[in-house]
Chains A and B, each alone.
Chain A
Amino acid sequence: MTRLVKIFRYDPKLDIEGEYILYEIETIPGMSIMDVLEYVRSYIDPSLSYYSHSACRHGICDRCFVRINGKNGLACETPVPETKDLYIGPVSKDRVLKDLITQKRKNHKSKQMNEPLETALFSDADHFMIFSKNKEAVVAAYQDKLGFNLKYGGRNDSFGYENYIIGFGLVYLEILSLFDWKAGLANGMISGELADLFENRKALCLTYAMRTEQIDELANRVNQHGLEAIGPLSMERKRPDGKIPKWKLCLPGGITFRRAQIPFFVQWMTDDLERLSWEEPVSHPNGAVAITGFSIAVKDLNSARKIYEDSFGCELYGEFDIRELNARCARYRVGQVFIDLISPSGEGPVKQFIEEVGDGPFEIKFKVEDINQTAAFFSKQKIKAEKEVIAENGLLVDDISLFGIRILFA
């Protein structure tokens, strides 16, 4: 059977960045992804690189990890999926050496043999949770003012909230509007402490979720590091359209929406492409097309780094000062996003944030199609009335009390 496959190609001598190239291949039943790659090498392009220099082909050496339709897996053990599309990419695009081969981690302990190449235990951002006191404030702030396309996600009467989704493909912002504060308090959805945080603000980003393909190992690792994870729990819900997404959830540090420095983890059991097919393509009037990074304010950078590096396996991208924030930043690159841990060096917005709210998500960055168009849009929306500065060639909207988080468009 003839079918099309898109394979990520990158040659450091020829390309500035990699891209997916379409190949037409002949498949027979019972092929693995490695068989597909071998077909491409044998009949189309022998320069394709994937783990092969000492490969067992039977799931013993655990080295031939690639990303198949958004999920990491061993090429030799993964049957060719029956999905319409077939994408094969590297486990991490930012560590790509050539095609499907990624750089080994610098702190890869040479004494540990057979370690899979992908050691960061989460693979990308999944979603951010912004809490708001009321629905009108949410719609007014995010849709009417900031120009995001808000999608109503449903209502939970026992916990007293409705939710809205701002989607960017598989990554999204979830805005929870608590219409029944009492029910929320009674059911442990929110705590008294949390209630205090909303005294003087309309919204707050309380936590975020990272997606992982190794939730069991992640749970073990965080438990070993004393973060006492709850889960992995198998979850599913019925959407208003009747579709039932399934996922597994792991909550380090227990069930609380206020988890300060650390995220919680989601492993999707429903196929990415299937989930994507459920959604209409969304465009946001403000021109935002993707979430490219976020920062977490932390009091103690070293202890936060320890958690991200030792417990979560993140590789440090760099540590540097951010002068305009008067803060020190430790940056990680995970999947498509940068994670910045920022800690105040002295007086400044980060310090002020921590004093008011404590450790937690501080800023989120969106990529826009055209920054001038976004600027024009904001000007039309009179967002200039809000404090707007140019930072990193972007537009910053920093009214945390209104939006729950600083928002940067770049």
Chain B
Amino acid sequence: MDGESAVAYGYDGDPLFTKEVWFEEIVKQGFYLSDQKIVETYVDQAAPLVKQVVDWGQKANQYFHFFKPGGFFTSGKAMGRALKQGISEHPDINVIEDIFITDLLTRDHRCVGAIGIDVYSGEVIVIKAKAVIIGTGGFQPFSLKVTASDMTGDGIGMALRGGVSVADMEFPLYVPGVCLWPPIHKGSIFPFLYNIITSSYPETPEPKMINSLGRDISKIIPPDQLSMAKGSEWMKLIFTYWWGKEIVEGRGSSNHGIYFSFEDFSGKAFLEGTQTIINMLPIWYKDLWKYQGDDISDLRDLVVEGKPWEVGLGNEYSNGGIMVNEKAQTELPGFYAAGECSTGCFGAHRVHDALVEMLVQGHVAGEYASHYIKNIEAPKIDREQVKYYINRICSPLNRKKGVSPLQVRKGIEKAADKGFNLIREEKRMKDALSDIQEIKREMIPRMSTTSETRAYNQEWIESIEAENLLLCLEAGLRAAIERKESRGTHIRSDYPEVDHDNFLKRICFKLNEKKLDMFTSQPNVTRMDLPKGKVENIMEYALSCEPKFKNAGGNGTLKNQPKNNKKGGSS
């Protein structure tokens, strides 16, 4: 939340971190592609909603650590439990779980419900509704990703099929420091958090970033950029830029990452130096050397044995998604999109919190949808459309033989790794696009599940996800090829300049007769005029943002925090 609100709630916030400052930071960090009306809503509405979640969390006995200027640091599980607490306080909310919504139902140019599959029973379910709000998350087309397995752009896919536009699909965000080894920890962000937090605890051994030639990457990064990255969420873009170069130019580790080396520390020094932060882990997790559910003592043992951690850039978030306005409304009446599946708040690069985006947009979507449904008639379902969608989603089940949906998914990941990942370049992007166009033409129509059983048929679910993911990647690649500049997380080796004169525009898509039509739109401007001219490269632009505040848990002091902060911030 903004610092003034934090102070008003009794936290040790920084009043200089005002809503205005916050707004400016988001717009600049987003390389001016944000819809400024959406950003205004974000900064205006965040504080009471964040406070609400923190209060739920405390009721559920979860620890939320406040840090300056106005943030909270907690675990994903704690966040989940806080939201669960919120749901339990609203008994009118009827929760149904494990339903995979596949398509929106529309009639007379309005949304009248949705269709999906009960994953466990395999039944097709039709939901009739005056309004539909989705919060289905982003799309992660790469082989290395850090969130749940179903981040396959399903909401974006259903929006496109429902006639709704999407935008900003060329801007995936990466976490630098995702575990690549051992396989049991692949995708864990512990090394990233460890690295970011070392800046707050000088006694904690800071890993050296090493490429496959044994060179220290931090020596390649200019000191001003290195200092900007440390302890800040800017680390994500800065390290993507520098590590990405190493990996793409063939100096990465065997699993396409780099190494965190602790060679300057003896095993004993490492164990002593990590004591403070390791002692904090039981606040959220069950034990020392336990992160989320992972027993990470093997990472400790690697260091003690003198071995490095192999880490990579894992896809965490998609900036792009469904086009909405500041009320979370889409162009289809009755259809709202909130959180990562939508786009507009963070432009080309997100530094501030996606959780807050989710809270604010979820809240405004609910608010405006509840107004909307008051004045409309009960929905009528178009039976022909239902039949059409049932036929669409069931066709892989009914096909006697064909291509395995899992192989389609792997083909998509291979294409994304090749041409959409990290540092981009025309030829690789075009090759990847041609690969996915071939998958679209040759494999998608032939997808077939091995078993006809509907109950928990993993291949069946995968077949639907594959189609959505492919659609998202196609849009992403085409936008990336079109954008002949570098901006945000779209980093091109062949067009390194940030070109405000030609590309300060959003690239959008709409599905027309099963084909993606591209168009552009101007970012919505309220307070900050769009810049002109060109900047030499992404890093020069980043430095020009001169962020006043570091937005990461790492710049707070977790030291001497009470284990249970039930009373924290309750004034």
Contact = CB atoms under 8 A, between A and B. Distances in A.
Interface residues on B, range: 35 or more
B94 A13 contact: no
A113 B80 CA distance: 9
A79 B184 contact: yes
Contacts of A383: none
B451 A47 contact: yes
Helix, strand, loop or mixed for chain A's interface?
loop
Contacts of A238: none
A111 B456 CA distance: 21
B294 A52 contact: no
B148 A110 contact: no
Contacts of A112: 84
A54 B294 contact: no
B95 A111 contact: yes
Nearest to A34: B184
B455 A97 contact: yes
Contacts of B87: 111, 113
Interface in B110-166: 119-120, 147-150
A353 B129 CA distance: 58
B2 to A, nearest CB: 29
A52 B461 CA distance: 10
Given A47-B459, A53-B458, A111 B452 contact: no
A114 B84 CA distance: 9
Contacts of A111: 87-88, 91, 93-95
Interface string A187-221: 00000000000000000000000000000000000
Given A46-B450, A49-B458, A114-B84, A35 B148 contact: no
B182 A53 contact: no
A104 B181 contact: no
Nearest to B295: A77
A391 B120 CA distance: 38
Interface residues on A, range: 35 or more
A104 B183 contact: no
A32 B292 contact: no
Interface string A41-66: 11001111110111111111110000
A26 to B, nearest CB: 12
Interface in B442-458: 449-453, 455-458
A53 B149 contact: yes
Nearest to B84: A113
B71 interface: no
A50 to B, nearest CB: 8
B293 A58 contact: yes
Nearest to B410: A42
Given A35-B184, A53-B98, A101 B456 contact: yes
Contacts of A97: 120, 455-456
A156 interface: no
Given A58-B187, A58-B293, A74-B293, A103 B120 contact: yes
A106 to B, nearest CB: 12
A98 B406 contact: no
A11 interface: yes
A60 B451 contact: no
A58 B95 contact: no
B431 to A, nearest CB: 24
B120 A11 contact: no
B149 A49 contact: no
Contacts of B213: none
Contact of B404 (A29, A32, A46, A79): A46
A48 B298 CA distance: 30
A14 interface: yes
Contacts of A49: 456-458
A113 B95 CA distance: 9
A77 B298 CA distance: 13
Interface in B423-457: 449-453, 455-457
A28 B184 CA distance: 11
Query: Most chain-A Cβ atoms within 10 A of its Cβ — which of B98, B294, B456, B457?
Result: B456
Interface in A55-97: 55-62, 74, 76-77, 79, 97
B384 to A, nearest CB: 29
A60 B77 contact: yes
B513 interface: no
Nearest to B291: A58
A77 B185 CA distance: 9
Contact of B298 (A30, A42, A57, A99): A30
Interface string A6-43: 00000111100000000000001111100100000110
Contacts of B405: 46
B15 to A, nearest CB: 35
A13 B451 CA distance: 8
Contact of B184 (A12, A31, A42): A31
Contacts of A77: 184, 293-295
Contacts of A101: 120, 455-456
A111 B91 CA distance: 9
Given A11-B453, A14-B451, A52 B293 contact: no
B157 to A, nearest CB: 16
A42 B409 CA distance: 11
Interface in B493-511: none
Interface of B: 76-77, 80, 84, 87-88, 91, 93-98, 100, 119-120, 147-150, 181-188, 292-295, 298, 404-407, 410, 449-453, 455-459, 461
25 contacts: A12-B453, A13-B452, A30-B182, A41-B458, A42-B406, A46-B450, A47-B457, A47-B458, A49-B458, A52-B458, A53-B98, A55-B148, A57-B187, A58-B293, A59-B292, A59-B294, A79-B184, A98-B451, A101-B120, A104-B98, A111-B88, A111-B94, A111-B95, A112-B84, A113-B80
Closest 7 CB pairs of A and B: A59-B293, A30-B182, A47-B450, A32-B184, A101-B456, A58-B292, A54-B150
Given A53-B100, A57-B149, 15 more contacts: A35-B184, A47-B459, A53-B461, A55-B149, A56-B149, A58-B187, A58-B292, A60-B77, A60-B292, A98-B455, A98-B456, A110-B94, A110-B97, A111-B94, A113-B95
